[in-house]
């Protein structure tokens, strides 16, 4: 075990990173503005080019600091409600919505496993890079279906756990790919803990919940998501797998992906192998 921990530390140290300033000391409304700017540039909606927001009631689960919800309102949504478990995120969202004059946006605190809203309320439920973070994905999918009106749709985009950076360590420990593939959970957790202790910069991730595989991660895979959807009671489900190397990946230009992406596209169709080479799971489901 100790040798595995040491090896994991060495591997992670090959490309170390520290949390960005926007995580540790963000400016006023900076996080909301970042989310808003991202959505203005395409963000979530680029994954669903035919999705119509105008005149729809929208529930954004895992809305962050509200920037995306505000943008949905600007695009003509009749009503937008954003959900986050952290009260301060909702407060920032409300301030940003007021600044942008988005009066039809509301933010509530809660979890996706127990959404504090009535049945059959929304036309759309949206979720961007959130489903990998919820504690009980099956319960969350069930709640999304419950609050949708008949014929309403859930649209979600999120990475599978064994995506190269699916461990989410690339934002605060290391950019090295597939650490959760190469090392057992126990060794990786201990190695990261030792790195954090040695770094001693005051940053700490959210504590792991009882069902977490790694920090704030439920370990959702392509296979496990498909199994959940088989029992979800949605009338129609469309699950697409976006290849690791494609224009949908924000690193397309910097990695020069266009020169070799074609060779990796077929891997998304190969069971088990696709867990390592899918950039995002793209889900649309109709109640």
Domain of residue 158, CATH code: 3.40.50.150
**CA 216, chain centre distance (Å):** 11
Q: How many angstroms separate the CA atoms of 282 and 158, rounded?
A: 7
Does residue 249 or residue 153 have the better pLDDT? 153
Q: Residue 249 pLDDT > 90, yes or no?
A: no
Whether the Cβ atoms of residue 152 and residue 123 lie closer than 8 Å to each other? yes
Distances (CA, A) of 124 to 52, 103, 140, 148, 215: 10, 19, 15, 7, 29
Strand arrangement, sheet containing 122-128: 105-109, 79-84, 57-61, 122-128, 148-158, 278-286, 236-243
- Residues 60-79 as b/e (b if ≥16 CB within 10 A, e otherwise) read bbbbbbbbbbbbbbbbebeb
With left for phi above 0 and alpha for psi between -120 and 50, is residue 140 left, alpha or beta? alpha
Does residue 193 or residue 251 have the better pLDDT? 193
Whether the Cβ atoms of residue 154 and residue 58 lie closer than 8 Å to each other? no
Residue 247 banded pLDDT, cuts 50, 70, 90: confident
Domain contains 250? yes
Domain contains 139? yes
Between helix 67-74 and helix 30-40 the angle, nearest 10°, is 50
Does residue 248 or residue 82 have the better pLDDT? 82
Summarize the confidence of residues 3-19 as an average pLDDT.
97
Domain contains 43? yes
Give tens-digit pLDDT for 119-153: 999 999 999 999 999 999 999 999 999 999 999 99
**CA 168, chain centre distance (Å):** 10
DSSP readout, 88-99? HHHHHHHHHHHH
| CA-wise closest residue to 239 among 143, 164, 168, 141 | 141
Whether the Cβ atoms of residue 69 and residue 93 lie closer than 8 Å to each other? yes
| Domain count along the chain | 1
Residue 272 banded pLDDT, cuts 50, 70, 90: very high
Domain that residue 64 falls in: 21-163+215-286
Q: Residue 229 pLDDT > 70, yes or no?
A: yes
Instruction: Check residue 257 and give its pLDDT.
Output: 73
Q: What is the mean pLDDT of the chain?
A: 95
Domain contains 33? yes
Residues 6+ apart with CB under 8 A from 196: 173, 203, 204
Instruction: Check residue 255 and give its pLDDT.
Output: 65
Residue 169 banded pLDDT, cuts 50, 70, 90: very high
Tokens of 169: 């360590």
Domain contains 179? no
Instruction: Check residue 137 and give its pLDDT.
Output: 98
Question: Helix, strand, or coil here: 107?
Answer: strand
Summarize the confidence of residues 209-227 as an average pLDDT.
97
Summarize the confidence of residues 208-222 as an average pLDDT.
97
**CA 187, chain centre distance (Å):** 25
Domain contains 270? yes
Burial class (CB in 10 A: 0-12, 13-18, 19+), 181: middle
* pTM > 0.85: yes or no: yes
């Amino acid at each position: 075990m100790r040798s595995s921990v040491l090896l994991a530390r060495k591997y992670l140290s090959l490309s170390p990173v520290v949390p960005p300033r926007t995580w540790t000391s963000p400016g006023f409304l900076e996080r909301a503005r970042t989310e808003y700017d991202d959505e203005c540039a395409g963000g979530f909606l680029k994954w669903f080019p035919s999705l119509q927001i105008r005149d729809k009631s929208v529930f954004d689960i895992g809305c962050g600091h509200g920037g995306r919800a505000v943008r949905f309102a600007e695009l003509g949504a009749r009503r937008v409600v954003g959900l986050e478990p952290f009260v301060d995120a909702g407060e920032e969202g409300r301030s940003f919505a007021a600044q942008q004059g988005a009066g039809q946006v509301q933010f509530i605190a809660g979890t996706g496993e127990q959404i504090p809203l009535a049945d059959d309320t929304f036309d759309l439920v949206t979720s961007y890079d959130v489903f990998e973070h919820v504690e009980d994905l099956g319960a969350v999918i069930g709640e999304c279906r419950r609050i949708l009106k008949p014929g309403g749709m859930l649209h979600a985009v999120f990475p599978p756990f064994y995506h190269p950076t699916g461990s989410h360590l690339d934002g605060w420990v290391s950019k090295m790919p597939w650490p959760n593939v190469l090392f057992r959970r126990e060794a990786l957790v201990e190695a990261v803990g030792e790195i954090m202790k040695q770094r001693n910069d005051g940053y700490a991730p959210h504590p792991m919940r009882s069902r977490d595989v790694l920090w704030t991660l439920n370990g959702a895979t392509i296979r496990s998501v498909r199994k959940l959807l088989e029992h979800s009671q949605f009338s129609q489900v469309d699950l697409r797998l976006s290849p690791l190397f494609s224009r949908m990946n924000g690193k397309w230009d910097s990695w020069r992906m266009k020169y070799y992406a074609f060779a990796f596209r077929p891997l998304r169709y190969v069971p088990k192998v696709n867990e390592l080479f899918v950039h995002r799971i793209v889900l649309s489901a109709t109640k």
